[in-house]
Every structure is written in structure tokens, then in C-alpha cells.
A and B are shown apart, each in its own frame.
Chain A
Amino acid sequence: MVAKQSGRNRGGGGGGTAAATEVSVEELARVPLQAILLADSFATKFHPITLERPKVLLPLVNVPMIDYTLAWLESAGVEEVFVFCCAHAKQVAEHLENSQWFAQPNFSVTAIESNNAVGAGDALRLIYEQNVIRGDFVLVSGDTVSNMSLAEALGEHKERRRKDSNAIMTMVITQSKTSPTTRQSRLGTDELFMAIDPDTKQLLYYEDKSDKGTVSLDKTLLSDHPSIYLHNDKQDCYIDICSPEVLSTFADNFDYQHLRRHFLKGLLDDDIMGYKIFTHEIQSNYAARIDNFRSYDTVSKDIIQRWTYPLVPDVQFFGNSSTKLDRQGMYRASVVGQSRSAQVGPFTVIGSGTTIGSQSQISNSVVGEGCKIGANVSIEGCYIWHNVTIEDGCQLKHAIVCDGVVIKSGVILEPGVVLSYKVVVGQQFIVPAYSKVSLYQQPIKQDSDEELEYADSSTGFMDASSLSGLPDKLKEESTIQLSESQLQAASEVGSGGVGFIWSTSEGSHEEEWRHSVAPIPPAKLLEIMHTSNNELEVVQQDGNLPPSGELERDSVTANSNDYDDDDVDVKDDYEFFENEVEATFKRALEENIKEDDVILEVNSLRLSYNLATADCSGALFYSMMKSALSAPHPSPSDLVKNAATVITKWKKLLKYYLPSIDEEIEVILKFEEMCLESAKEYSTVFVQILHLLYDKDIIQEEAILNWASEKEGADETDKLFVKQAEKFIQWLNEASEEED
């Protein structure tokens, strides 16, 4: 504040127009450094815990995450912070009030609350409307742990800005080691590909979620930049130094929500206003964002191993109780009741007021305040928050245990388990790996991309009243809901247990091990390695990079199935389509669905598989014949009868898909194919069925004659059925002649 005022005074003092620009630049520099802290990550990675508490208040080595971010901002010279809270806004605001952040000199913290923001874009638009940002600002999320100095990055940013007013953002990146097998960094984030100009550090390309095998850079990039570095070894710290234009860009593009996926991509791809983004790489400092459980684990370990100094447990940076560092990275609060026979291993933090029973072993873990750990308990790689009770003989491995959880005796937590607030696990229960247990039932999965991380506070979730005494009023129905749920839940986590095990849907289960606190099991690693090996092959087979025409031709000879692959794809598509049509038809049979509805469904299938009408008629006919086949048919004549009934019944449906002769021929061809391959039973009664189709006016004689003439030039083997139908065709021919 002081600095700002002196700046103002000077600005006022400098009068002349010649000096005006200089002064304004100077004044720009004198504006107190501001920061926007997003206390909502607009994601669901920390469900179910974040149903009850906002992510930024979750304890990281016994200190709420947001305190790390604020402490860093303060030490880095930020003078004004706007904390944007959305989900559980009240809890965040309350936390800020109770902390000493409001009382710091030269550091003002303002909370901005909103109830309806669904993404970072909304947040920034709201802040833009409030008109509080006056100059360059730091944009971070409330789950950032860092000890970097902003001075250098800020200096670079301002320097660039002076030369080029389009340089509106500087992104902080750092070196990371991506595992080639899991394709993700140690923070559990997806692999990131960036292209950066090595001279100017301008960011040219950013891709963090893609299944494509290649990175594709626009050709124009290379004409502007003679050299481009493509990085797979860098990590985005999600610390951005922005100019006010960033806010106005968000305001102008109201569809922008995600900072990276929308804003960054929009700027890079669409070249909005010619704005440019630059990067600043930090070398020795620490910066990481806690995006998921795995990064929670990684960052916790980094803190314990003091990479984040001075933000470490034994330095009192925000009034955490005095903790002392022992040998081997062991931190112990002053008041710990530890049995003599209990063993506390290296890299472990024990909070104050915690008691540990005899023969218990704790290693590589964080235990919060006021926990009661019984005897013969083994805890390895776990994060146990506050006031947790663990009874005798439990075994915990790589789990997160939230406040107030009670784990009854003999319970085993397999790796990757998350127990949300106040869950009770019944005696001897084994919680399966990667399961998440909460007092709340799993909400119905929404497919929406912009899912809110936290349940809206207005829905009045029951809250852990003991801890922070949340003001949310309980609604009556929720109480009932809970008591009901408690009854149901009892069975899910053992006798006497309380809580629901959240089921993971098929798709996300695959990701479960990626983002879990548990280390990736070796079996999984091997598996991925296998697939990645294969993928490598696939990637290269697809080639994507035939440098010249000759090569392409050649690659056909090299992997002779290169082109066939395409065919296979199409065929597969058709097969899928056929299966779906068959299923639809079966359902129609069973549930007596009206023809119109079937038509509607088949049409939508056709559109989604991008196929022609002829394919529909073929597939539909196929399904009909199949269904006729599936009905009991002791003799071929019964089969014909079955077919006749089906065809008669669904004639209208089939007819709908036979607008012209071509489709009718397609049906005959399809039938022929069936007789040869999938339904050989029909081969004996081919002519009869053909006749039937003719009788029922499904296939006109013209189609049959065309089919016959088409087949004339074919191989003898292909003519099998034409020969069978010879008489019939002859008859048709004669009949048509007579008509003439």
C-alpha cells in the first residue's frame, strides 16, 4: 500500500507530455502486485471428499492447501490477493477470517464469493466486472505449492510487455520427468506436449489431452520461427502472470471456461487479437499444483523432504503448532503420546495430541492432530487427517483417511482407499483397493464436461459440524436421507460401519490407479508397457508421416495390411451396426415396439455409423432372418414357415428401407452371403425364401432379374444360388415376356 501511494504521488508530480509515457510505465510498475487465487478448481478429482469441504481447505501435511498458496504469494511480494470462492464459499471465507491472513501488514486478502460460476472463465469474468485488477497480476489456483520468486518471471513479463503489448501472459513451467509407460508426470497429470520458441520463449503449441499419435504443428509456425523446441519433459505449474487483457479476453469470449483448454487453445489456435503467450521456466525452485490424489501424495512427500523450503512443517509460517524435525525426516509435534514399543519410521509427520499404541508401526505417512492409533497398527504411505480413530490391529496402506473417521479393529485398507469424513469402517472389514467411501451417496453421474467439483452448498449437505462448525443449516430431508442412508450403508463397510462405497464407472476405473495415492502396481506397469509397446507399433504403422508418395506405396508392401486395415475398419463399423440393428430388432420383437419407432431407431443408428440406406435394409433383413432362425425349426420347411411369419409381420418395416431396386438387390446379396456364411441353414431353402419375398411384394422381379444378370459374369462358386434359382428366374422371365 505504501509503495503504491508513493507511486501515485510521483505520477502526479511528473507533468510534461514528453515524460508522460515514461511515467505511465513507471506507474504501471508501481501498482501493487495483485493476485487472483481461484479457490475452486472446478473439477471432481477429489470426490467424494470435496462434497463436504472445498479442496483448498484439505490438509496437506496438516496445513490447509490454501495456506501454502497464500504464504507463498505473500513471500513473493504480492500485496493484494483476491480469493475467488465458489463451492463451499462460506467455508473458505470463514477459514480466511479465522486465519491471520486478514491481519498481515502489506498483504490484503479479499474474498470474492459466487454461487454460480462453473469454471475459471466465469470467475475471471466476475472479477473483470468488479474492476479491481489494475495492472499485471498473478493467476494461481488455491492448491498451488511453490517457493519460487516471482521477481524474475515478472520482470521478464514486464520487459516483454514494454516491447510488445500483445505479450499478455507468462506461464510458469518446470522440468518434469514423464514416465514413458504411464504417459503421465509424477504428479499424475496427463502428458503434456508444448512447443516453445527457444529464443523468445513464446508458447506456440499446447496439448494436454489427446489420443493422437502425433503432434501436429501448423506449417506457418516454422516460417515465423526458424527453430522450435517440442517439449514432452516440461510440466505446467499453473502459475500465470497475466496482463489485464487476459481478463478482458475472457469477458469478450463468454464461452471460455477452462484456462488451458479454452483460453490457451483459443489464443494459440485462433490468434485472437494477435495475443501471445510466453513461458518462464524455473530451474531450482519448487512449484506444483495438486490436481489429483497422486499429486497430493507427491507434493506431500516433497514437503516432507523439504523441497518446498521454507514451506515445511517445522517452520511456522502460519501458526501451525510447533513441530520438530528429527532424524530421517521425521517430524513430531511437541505433544505426542507414543508408546515405547511403537515405531515411527522415516519421512513421517505426527500431529500434536496424537497417541500411538504399542507395537504400532508408521512409516512414510502423515498423521494429523488428535488421532488415536491403537496397538499393532501398521500404517504405510497413508495420509491420516485429524481426529481419526484407528483401533487395534488395523493395516493401512497408501490410503487417505479424512477427519473423524473411525476404523474399527482388524480392518485392512488396501492401497488407494479414500475414506471421506466421519466414515466408520466395521470390524475386520477389508476395504478393497481404490475404493472411495463417503457418508454421501454417489450422485448420478453427469456427462457434462464442466462438472462442478463441489456440490452446491445450497443443497444443504450434512456437514461435519464438529470440525469447523459450518453454518450450513441442515435441511430436514437431508437428515432423513442420512439416517436412511446410514441404515443402508451399514452393510457396505462391514458391521457397525457407516458409509457408502462409491462405485467407479467402467471408464473411470481405468484411471483410478493413475490418480490414486497408491504407487502404480508393478503388474499394471507391465501391462501398460505392453500396450505402449504395441501402441508404438500402431503409431508407426499408421505412419502418418509418409514423406513422399513412394514411401506410402512402399509401406503397403512393408506391412502388407496397412491398407487392409482401413477396410477392416469399415467392415468393423458395419458389423457393429449390424449387431446394433439386430439388437434393436430383437427388442422390437420382444417388447412389441411399433414399426415407426424401430424405423426411428434404425435411422439414428444409420446416421451415427454414417452408412447408406442399403446397409439398413441389408442389416434389417439379416436381423429378421436371424430371428426366424432362432425360433425352433425341426425341418427346413418349418424354417421357411418361421421366416414367412417374421417377414409378414415386419413387411412394412422392411419395405420402408427398400425405396429402390438397388436396396432390393442388396437384400438378395445379403441373403446370399448369409446362406454362405452365418446362416447356412438357409442355403437349402434359398429359392423358397426368394419366392416368398417375391410373393410378399418385398422384392420385385426386376431386382431378382438384375441380380441374376449381375451374377452372370461371376465365378462359378458365386453362381451357386443363381443356379438354384434358375427355374424361378426363368419363370419370371417368361412371365415378364408374357406381359409384354
Chain B
Amino acid sequence: MDFQVVVLAGGFSKTLVPLVSKEVPKALLPVANRPVLSYVLELLEQNNLKDLIVVVESESAALLIGGWISSAYVDRLHVEVAAVPEEIGTAGALRAIDHHLTASDILVVSGDLVCDVPPGVVAATHRRHDAVVTAMLCSNPVSGSTESGSSGVKDKAKKRYNIIGLDPTKQFLLHVAAGVEVEKDVRVQKSILRAVGQMDIRADLMDAHMYAFKRSVLQEVLNQKEAFQSLRRDVLPYLVRSQLRSELLLNGVQSEENGNDKDASQNPKIVLSQLLANASTPSFHELHALGPNGFSLSPRKTHKCCVYIASNSNYCVRLNTIQAFSDINRDVIGDASHLSGYSFSAQNNIIDPSAVLGSKTTVGPQCMLGEGSQMGDKCSVKKSVIGRHCRIGSNVKIVNSIVMNHVTIGDGCSIQGSVVCSNVQLLERVVLKDCQVGAGFVVTAGSEHKGESLAKKEK
């Protein structure tokens, strides 16, 4: 397939502090004891997309991620890791690796996506419609609604992610509001409504940050619109907005001059012949381009923005908040266990054979215990993930939590709805509820914390 895949792996995301630290960039955060990036890479591998560019913000993160990829995926994937400066945004990142892009279509995937929607279907949709961009949409994630007693941080307010306008066939993207626009009144251009007749405006869909772009168009937009920073907030809305009055064409000549292959949509004649060849019902774009009564002084320039809507049975969540981190970990060993790639035991949990459990210690269903971890007596683990080489004392309760690697937990601790990062030491009788503990932190004995974020001071 003539698709080039760009994985935007991000860097040290600030929103995920304290989970993210100098040692652990966002892409390497563990989901069921595997870096989150591996979920995307494996999904791509399954779809036979093995030529990847992984774009990482900042050199140090690139080193860490590059190191991990080369160890984990040697011989399996052909991955180039490109480092870009921090804070340049997704569009900026693509602009920075512009010269690497050669294929006719580019698939851009966010590295924090945990999903089971094959990118192949997005690519196919893109190709079928000869679109300039195809975005994947999924249902808004239902956060923290599964179990009682889950964290109180959840359910702040019903958050809306995107406002999206679709055509009646749900194939084309007609309107998109992202970022701050989401909270404002919805304003839809009449011109596009006139062309389509009916628009479905949805607030329950989320942009999953998996896009297929026509390369020439993407590069053109990135070059022309230097202020564009984000694909989701700038590039996509721009393309959607201008789809019936494409500006791309004017510049299409340029790209031809540059010796690039000609873009079919950029030539009305070709579109028309395709139209006749397909003999299918023309989309509103073509009708609009031809003008009323099928004649027009000059064919209008249009381009298509398509969507692929993941069905509700698909799992598709981005790890971009601490909340999402907990949710994804819970889901991957729970409801969406097919993603984890592990085989579950009869008790519906995964306990590494090398793990040691003390007497009267129970590990419930939907739990995971990494290799080499030890647990003392009379412990109880429910709906939690425990990493590798952890040393857990006796009488410890761990519920709805994530414990990363090399964590030491003293006797009589109780951990609920919390995230404990690597190399943390919890001394005796620590009580954590809805807390995040940053890497290497030491929690003093007997202390109780609720809804706090504990981390070492940045030096």
C-alpha cells in the first residue's frame, strides 16, 4: 500500500505529570505493563503498515523511545525516529519532517491511541473517495463509569470533545469545531448546507487523531499556512471549511511544477471522467462543482473531507489525561482485554509465572501481576495492574490502581484508585486514595493521602 505512516508520539506531556518524567516520556507510559506506543505500532503491524516514521518531541525523549523501539521491534518494523523541537504542535511536527514524506498518501496516527480500529479501513475510505483528508471519529469515551468506588476525580463535567457535521450518508465531514470553538454557539456555513441539503451535527463523536492525508495537499497547506500548529484545530478545520471553494487548486499548479505526481482531484476534467467511469451517484461535491443544471461557467474547485466512524463496539481511546491513563489500563485488562495481547487465566487475570504470592493473598479478576513481583501474606488485589519486580509487603490492599515497576510497598498499605509510578517506595501503613505518585518518590509511613499528586520536586 502506498501509504506512509507517521506516528506522532509526543514528548514529555505536561498534562500527564507526575506520570511522565524525564525517564518516561508519554509514549512509554505503561498500559498493562507495555508502553502505550506499542499498541499503535502493533496495530499498524497487523495492518501490514511496516514503514513508519515516529515523530518525538525533544531529543532526549527520542533517544528513549528510539532505544525502546529498536529493542522491541527489531526485524519486525522499519521505524525511523525523528526528533522535533518541543511545543511545535502536530502540524509543526509534520512540517519539520516534511522532507521525509514521499508517498502519495500519509497516515497520521497519534502515538497515544489505544484502539482496535484497523487503520486499513481509514486508508481504504480515503482512497475510495479520493479525499484530501479522512479523519477517524469514535464515540466519546465514557470515563470512569464502570465501577462504584472508582475515583472521585472522574465525572467533572460532561466534556465535549468535538462538534462535527456530517452529510446524511455519514461519509463526508462538513463541519468541525475543535478547541475553544466547541464551547461556543455552533455556526454552520449556509453555502455548504445548500450544497448538501442536510447536515447531521453531532456532539457525541471524538476525533481519534488518526488521519489519512493526501500528501501533496498536506504539504501545501503546511507550507502555505505557516501559523497552523495543530492538525486537529487548524489543518482539519481549514480543509473542511474550504472544501467547496478549494484554494488548493490554485496551488496545484505549483505542485505539478515541482514535478510531483498529479493529483486527480486537482483536475476537474479527471474528476469528471472518473465520475462518468464510476457511474455511481456523484457526491454533492461533484454536483456542486458542476453547478446547477450541470453547467457552470467555470467548474468550481472542490475537495473532499471524509470520515470513518468507528462503530461503538470498537475500542478507541487516547491516552492524553491521567484519567484516560487509568481508564485505559482498566479497560485493557478488563473489557477490552483483546487489546492486551496476553492470554488470561481461568480467573480472568494475568499473573506472571515468576511472580510470588504469599499465603492468603488473593488476586481478583481483571488484574495483572508482572514478572518477578512478590507479594506478602493476606494481600488483596482487585482490578489493578502491578508491574515488574515490585516488592509488596503483607496486608496490602490494592484496588483500581496501577502500580508500575520496581515499586516497594510496605506492610498494611491501602491503595485505591491511584497511580504509583516506578521506583516509588511506600512505607508501612500508607493510605492512598485517588492519588498519583511520581517516579522515585518516597511516601512516609502511616501517612494518608487523598486526591493528591505526589512527586519529587523538579531539580
Q: Is B193 touching A193 in the complex (CB atoms < 8 A)?
A: yes
The answer to whether B181 touches A217 (Cβ under 8 A) is: no
Contact indicator A554/B189 (Cβ below 8 Å): no
> Which of the residues B183, B229, B297 comes within 8 Å of A530, measured between beta carbons?
B297
Closest to B180 in A: A548
Interface residue? B255 (CB, 8 A)? no
Q: Which of B194, B198, B242, B291 is the one whose CB lies under 8 Å from A540? A: B242
Q: Supply 8 further A-B pairs (C-beta < 8 A) apart from A216-B185, A217-B188.
A: A222-B201, A223-B160, A227-B204, A537-B245, A539-B190, A548-B233, A551-B238, A554-B227
**CB within 8 Å for A230 and B187 given contacts A545-B241, A554-B234:** no
Contacts of A222 in B (CB 8 A): 160, 163, 186, 201, 203
* A550 to B, closest residue via Cβ: B227
Roughly how many angstroms separate A544 CA and B244 CA in the complex, as a whole number? 16
Q: How far apart are B319's CB and chain A's nearest CB, in angstroms?
A: 23
**Distance of A212 Cα from B191 Cα, bound (Å):** 11
User: B278-292, CB under 8 A of A: which get 1 and which 0?
Assistant: 000000000010011
Known: A540-B242, A547-B177. A229 touches B201 (CB 8 A): yes
Collect the chain B residues with CB atoms within 8 Å of residue A545's CB.
177, 181, 187, 189, 237, 241
**Would you list which residues of chain B between 168 and 212 have a CB under 8 Å from chain A?**
176-181, 183-191, 193-204
Query: Which residues of A have CB within 8 Å of B201?
Result: 195, 217, 222, 227-230
For the complex, give the distance between the alpha carbons of A516 and B158 in Å.
Answer: 52
Asked if B237 and A551 sit within 8 Å, CB to CB, the answer is yes
| 6 sampled A-B residue pairs with Cβ under 8 A | A214-B187, A222-B186, A230-B188, A537-B245, A544-B187, A557-B225
Q: CA separation between A225 and B203, bound complex, in Å?
A: 8
| B186 and A217 contacting across the interface, CB-CB below 8 Å | yes
Q: Min CB distance, A524 to chain B, in Å?
A: 12
Which A residues touch B229, using CB under 8 A? 550
* Cβ of A419 to closest chain B Cβ, rounded Å: 31
B residues less than 8 Å from A529 (CB atoms): 291-292, 296-297
B193 touching A230, Cβ below 8 Å: yes
Please indicate the chain A residues that have their CB under 8 angstroms from the CB of B176 in the complex: 547
B179, B194, B203, B237: the one contacting A180 at CB < 8 Å is B194
Tell me, yes or no, whether B50 is within 8 Å of chain A by CB. Answer: no
Chain B residues with CB under 8 A of A543? 241
A residues 166-181 with Cβ under 8 Å of B?
Answer: 178-181
Among A218, A530, A547, A558, contact of B225 (Cβ-Cβ < 8 Å): A558
Query: B interface vs A, CB < 8 Å?
Result: 158, 160, 163, 165, 176-181, 183-191, 193-204, 224-230, 233-234, 237-238, 241-242, 244-245, 247, 288, 291-293, 296-297, 300
Query: What B residues does A178 contact at CB under 8 A?
Result: 194, 197
Contact with B along A521-564 (1 / 0, CB 8 A): 00001100110010111011001110111110110011000000
The 9 A-B residue pairs with the shortest CB-CB distance, nearest first, are A233-B197, A554-B227, A226-B204, A547-B237, A217-B186, A222-B203, A230-B199, A232-B193, A228-B201
Give Cα A537–Cα B193 distance, bound, in whole angstroms: 15
CA distance in complex: A539, B244 (Å): 12
- Which residue from A219, A225, A226, A548 sits with its C-beta under 8 Å from B179? A548
Tell me if A582 counts as interface (CB < 8 A to partner B): no
Cα(A548)–Cα(B178), bound, Å: 8
Chain A residue numbers with a CB within 8 Å of B291 are 181, 529
Given contacts A216-B186, A230-B201, contact A547 B245 (CB under 8 A): no
Chain A hits for B179, CB < 8 A: 547-548
Contacts A229-B199, A229-B200, A537-B245; A544 near B189 (Cβ below 8 A): yes
Question: Would you call B185 and A219 a contact (CB within 8 A)?
Answer: yes
Decide if A536 touches B186 in the complex (CB within 8 Å): no
Q: Which residue of B lies closest to A227 (CB)?
A: B202
- Contact B200 A227, beta carbon cutoff 8 Å: yes
Q: Is A215 an interface residue (CB 8 A)?
A: yes
Report yes or no: A214 in contact with B234, Cβ–Cβ below 8 A: no
For B288, the chain A residues whose CB sits under 8 A away are 180
User: Which of B189, B190, B224, B234 is most buried by chain A, counting CB atoms within 10 A of its CB?
Assistant: B190
Q: Which residue of A lies closest to B176 (CB)?
A: A547
Contacts of B188 in A (CB 8 A): 214-217, 230
Task: Provide the residues of chain A in CB contact with B178, threshold 8 Å.
Answer: 547-548
B190 touches A547 (CB 8 A): no
Chain A window 562-602, contacts with chain B (Cβ cutoff 8 Å), 1 for yes, 0 for no: 00000000000000000000000000000000000000000
Distance A533 CA – B194 CA, assembled complex (angstroms): 12
Give the Cβ gap from A525 to chain B, nearest Cβ, in Å. Answer: 7
A residues adjacent to B (C-beta < 8 A): 178-181, 183, 191, 193, 195, 198, 212-219, 221-223, 225-233, 525-526, 529-530, 533, 535-537, 539-540, 543-545, 547-551, 553-554, 557-558
Given A219-B185, A529-B297, A548-B234 contact (CB < 8 Å): yes
Instruction: List the B side residues contacting A230 at CB < 8 Å.
Output: 165, 188, 193, 198-201
Q: Is the CB of A181 within 8 A of B292?
A: yes
B233 and A554 within 8 A (CB)? no
Q: B191: which A residues are within 8 A, CB to CB?
A: 213, 535-536, 539-540
Decide if B183 touches A219 in the complex (CB within 8 Å).
Answer: yes
Bound-complex Cα distance A396 to B228 (A): 61
| Contact yes or no, A231 B198, CB < 8 A | yes
Chain A residues, Cβ within 8 Å of B189: 213-215, 539-540, 544-545
| B245 contact from A216, A536, A544, Cβ within 8 A | A536
Tell me the minimal C-beta distance from A432 to chain B in angstroms: 27
Give the complex CA separation of A545 and B158 in angstroms.
24
Chain B residues closer than 8 Å to A217, beta-carbon distance = 185-188, 201
Separation of A212 and B190 alpha carbons in the complex (Å):
8
Known contacts being A545-B241, A550-B233, is A193 close to B183, with CB within 8 Å? Answer: no
Q: Given A179-B292, A547-B178, A558-B225: A526 and B297 within 8 A (CB)?
A: yes
Shortest Cβ distance from A181 into chain B, in angstroms? 5
Residues on B with beta carbons closer than 8 Å to the beta carbon of A225: 203
| Chain B residue nearest in CB terms to A526 | B297
Contact residues in A for B227 (Cβ distance below 8 Å): 550-551, 553-554, 557
Residues of A contacting B180 in the complex (Cβ-Cβ under 8 angstroms):
547-549
* Residue of A198, A213, A216, A536 contacting most chain B CB atoms (<10 Å): A536
Give the residue name and chain of the B residue nearest to A542 (CB).
B189
CB neighbours (8 Å) of B230 from chain A are: 548, 550
Complex contact A193–B292 (CB within 8 A): no
- A547 x B204 contact (CB < 8 A): no
Taking a contact as CB atoms under 8 Å apart, the answer to whether A547 and B242 are in contact is: no
Say which residue of A179, A183, A213, A232 sits within 8 Å of B196 (CB atoms): A232
Please give me the residue from chain B that is nearest to A522 by CB atom: B293
Whether A213 lies near B163 (C-beta < 8 A) is: no
Most buried by A among B183, B227, B238, B291: B227
User: Is the pair A218, B185 in contact by a Cβ cutoff of 8 Å?
Assistant: yes
Using CB atoms, name the residue of chain B closest to A551. B234
Closest residue of chain A to B165 (Cβ to Cβ) is A230
Q: Are A219 and B186 closer than 8 Å at their CB atoms?
A: yes
Do B187 and A215 touch (CB < 8 A)? yes
Residue of B nearest to A175 (CB): B197
Contact, CB under 8 Å: B228 / A223: no
- The reply to whether A193 and B204 contact each other, CB–CB distance below 8 Å, is no
**Complex: how many Å from CA A415 to CA B448?**
89
Interfacial chain A residues near B186, Cβ < 8 Å? 216-219, 221-222
Q: Is the CB of B234 within 8 A of A547?
A: yes
State the CA gap A415–B242 with chains docked (Å). Answer: 39
- Whether A223 and B297, one on each chain, are in contact in the complex, defined by CB atoms closer than 8 angstroms, is no
- Determine the distance from Cα of A486 to Cα of B95 in the docked complex, in whole angstroms: 79
Residues of A contacting B199 with CB < 8 Å? 229-231
Q: B300: which A residues are within 8 A, CB to CB?
A: 533
Docked CA distance A529–B194 (Å):
13
Minimal beta-carbon separation of A546 from chain B (angstroms): 8
Residues of A contacting B242 in the complex (Cβ-Cβ under 8 angstroms)? 540
Pairwise interchain contact A183-B194, C-beta atoms closer than 8 A = yes
B187 neighbours in A (Cβ, 8 Å) = 214-217, 544-545
Which residues of B lie under 8 Å from residue A216 when comparing CB positions? 185-188
In the complex, chain A residues whose CB is within 8 Å of the CB of B233: 547-548, 550-551
| A700 vs chain B, min Cβ distance (A) | 49
B245 in contact with A213 (CB, 8 Å): no
